[in-house]
A = this chain, B = another copy of it.
Amino acid sequence: MPWPAGVTVQSGSLPVNLTFSVSLSGAGATDPRVKVAVNRMFVRLARQTGIPVRSHFVEQGTGGATLNIIVEERDHPPPQRLGDDERYALEIATTGARLSAGRPLGALRGIETFLELVGQNTGPGVTPGFSVPCLAIRDQPRFPWRGLSLDVSRHFIPVGDVERTLDGMSAVKLNVFHWHLSDDQGFRVESRRYPRLQQYGSHGLYYTQAQIREVIAYAGDRGIRVIPEFDMPGHATSWLTGYPELGSRSGAFEITAGYGIFNDLIDPTKEYTYRFLDGFIGEMAALFPDAFFHIGGDEVDPKQWNDNPHIQEFMRSHDLADPKALHAYFNQRVQRIVAHHGKHMIGWDEVLQPDLPKSVVIQSWRGQHSLWQAARQGYQGILSAGYYLNLMYPAAYHYGIDPMKVPPSAPGSHAGPESAEPAPGTPADLTPEQQKMVLGGEAAMWEELATPENLDAKLWPRLAAVAERFWSPEATTDMASMYNRLESTNRWLEWLGLTQHSGLVLMRQRLAGGKLSQPLEVFASILEPVKEYSRHAENYTSSTPLNRLVDSIPPESDAAREFREEVDAYLSIPTGQGNSEELKGLLADWANNTQEVRPVLRSNSLLTENLPVADAVAALCDMGEQALGYLGSGNAPGPDWKQQTLAKVDGYVDKRIGDVLIQIAPGVRKLVEAVPSAHP
């Protein structure tokens, strides 16, 4: 995962053992990224197999390496650029493997494919050990821009956690790390020219310039570009804390722990603002080598502009009819500064305003509509709408979003079908030239409710499904195959040190009083956090402890999903003929477990809030078992049973109890729904 553009599986396999070796050839193999990637590969093979594989390079020409890597041409000097060639071909035979790429990045991508193919020999009588299957792959990305946007303002994410995320990103062939470095809650970069930015705006939680360079080098080694975002003119409180003269109102500012849209704005009418930004952007343009520079530009609440007579006067004297026009004026001035420092500007889709230079890239967070509109107007763009991993949607939802197609509605969305809209899945109404303006997409993790300890679980494995959407051919859409492969990719990623599994186990262990509680594990396995922004309503701040059960469960419950699939399979068989033993067993186990988990919930102060959840699970299991009883025996229930039971089940389907959802409820509902009505 991501699934390659073309693959032919053959019989046989190539052993991966102590003698594993690599040869490097071709002019492009001298690229330092290739050599360090191969050295990482040796280490990772040792981790993945438990075999003490050593760095063993075979001289070109002497032949006989296990993996022969050929990189035809050198690349341009660093930094990596948008559109750099990432194609590769991988041929694995029983006697050796050949990875060929035109340029260094292709070799990096192919190495990840090779690593993910390593598996233990299976089946009776095979040689103990590990191998890769014989096959031929020709692979290339669908989109050249495949990113993750990480918010480090609302919760600071230390360097080690960022680097771990980069490890995961490169494993699934993502190539852009979009670093959301400033927001109302904190300014996370050391500026030497304007040191009060971090001194007053970060509570001491910021990256030094040395750390920034370290992360950029770390990403570059893994074929990942780093694009900094400094949000302006809104989401700007943290700028103003140290430099209140930038503000659109007078007085002092303080970074906020709260969430939402604040109305502190940079003043776009002062020349001081542009002198400041010229100095700041100049400093940051030198620190961040990528050709792109993100200026945010989203969610500008114009209140302070409207309230400020100086700004109103400026707008009149400059023929700026409304705040949108003022925002456009600001963007144009900032764009000239960004361009002056040798960068392309990128901004959230609000920056798409009249007279915006065509060199600006649009990042759509509000939907395909704005992306396509930009493309029709001649702007390049990337899609983030539908890829907000912080909303806790299942992998299937994000996987179903395509930058070039009308999106499905979000799960649990009750908006009726709008007949004027084309149906989900309808291809974008764009000419081939306009289609080329769509560069790809970025998943986004906004960190209101994510911290270093559960970040991995909020990103992985769903991010791998999004990565496949950006890399693999448009036609790669089979959900069952995706979930199947996602599971093994998820486990594979753990060898990189990702903590999506182990981190949550530790959190639940803490909840259970410091000891792993099997009943709590089972109980938690069918729950999910509430979706969308519905937790925010409850006054969370960046100081709120995120140490409750809802924080320790993955966004998507595999056990509940598998139960729902099992229900579908059972109901697809004519009534009375299916085998319901497995479903009955699951429901009985979950019901029994509610008895065992209650003392755990009662005795630990952070868990007591979940006692009603246990009651609800027991009730749902009971209803499910009743329904299976009627379905299996063919006996009809009493006249009111179905109506009453459906009403009860509907109290749990997509209904929060505290901050969690019981995700077996939709499956139970289908079972109840399938019971034949009694004929009164």
Contact = CB atoms under 8 A, between A and B. Distances in A.
Interface of A: 18, 47-52, 54-55, 119-124, 126-129, 155, 203-204, 451, 453, 487-488, 491-492, 494-495, 502, 505-507, 509-511, 513-516, 542-547, 551, 602-606, 608-609
Given A506-B494, A514-B488, A514-B492, A542 B52 contact: yes
Contacts of A609: 128
Given A128-B608, A605-B126, A50 B509 contact: no
B122 A507 contact: no
Most chain B beta-carbon neighbours within 10 Å: one of A49, A506, A545, A608: A545
B487 A120 contact: no
Contact of A50 (B121, B510, B514): B510
A123 B119 CA distance: 47
Given A48-B510, A123-B603, A491-B509, 8 more contacts: A18-B543, A50-B551, A52-B546, A120-B604, A120-B605, A120-B606, A128-B605, A129-B606
Nearest to A131: B605
Contact of A128 (B122, B123, B606): B606
Contact of A491 (B51, B203, B494, B515): B515
Contact of A453 (B50, B491, B515): B50
A605 B122 contact: yes
A608 B123 CA distance: 10
A121 B495 contact: no
The 7 closest A-B pairs by CB, nearest first: A50-B547, A121-B605, A128-B605, A502-B502, A51-B545, A126-B605, A491-B514
The complex is assembled from copies of this chain, and their number is 2
A506 B544 CA distance: 32
A609 B129 CA distance: 12
A69 B52 CA distance: 47
B603 A122 contact: yes
Given A50-B510, A547-B50, A603 B492 contact: no
Given A128-B606, A502-B505, A203 B54 contact: yes
Contacts of A602: 124
30 contacts: A18-B543, A49-B545, A49-B547, A50-B507, A50-B510, A50-B547, A51-B547, A52-B155, A52-B544, A52-B545, A54-B203, A119-B513, A120-B511, A120-B606, A121-B605, A122-B513, A122-B604, A123-B605, A126-B605, A127-B605, A128-B605, A128-B606, A128-B609, A488-B514, A491-B509, A491-B514, A492-B514, A494-B506, A494-B509, A502-B502
Most chain B beta-carbon neighbours within 10 Å: one of A492, A511, A514, A603: A514
A185 to B, nearest CB: 12
A122 B120 CA distance: 45
Nearest to A505: B502
A349 to B, nearest CB: 32
A546 B18 CA distance: 12
Contacts of A542: 52
Contacts of A515: 487-488, 491
A23 to B, nearest CB: 19
A545 B119 contact: no
A119 B514 contact: yes
Contact of A514 (B51, B120, B545): B120
A494 B50 CA distance: 22
A120 B543 contact: no
Contacts of A52: 155, 451, 542-546
Given A491-B515, A605-B127, A204 B50 contact: no
Most chain B beta-carbon neighbours within 10 Å: one of A48, A487, A547: A547
Most chain B beta-carbon neighbours within 10 Å: one of A48, A451, A604: A604
A495 B507 CA distance: 10
A550 to B, nearest CB: 12
Contacts of A608: 124, 128
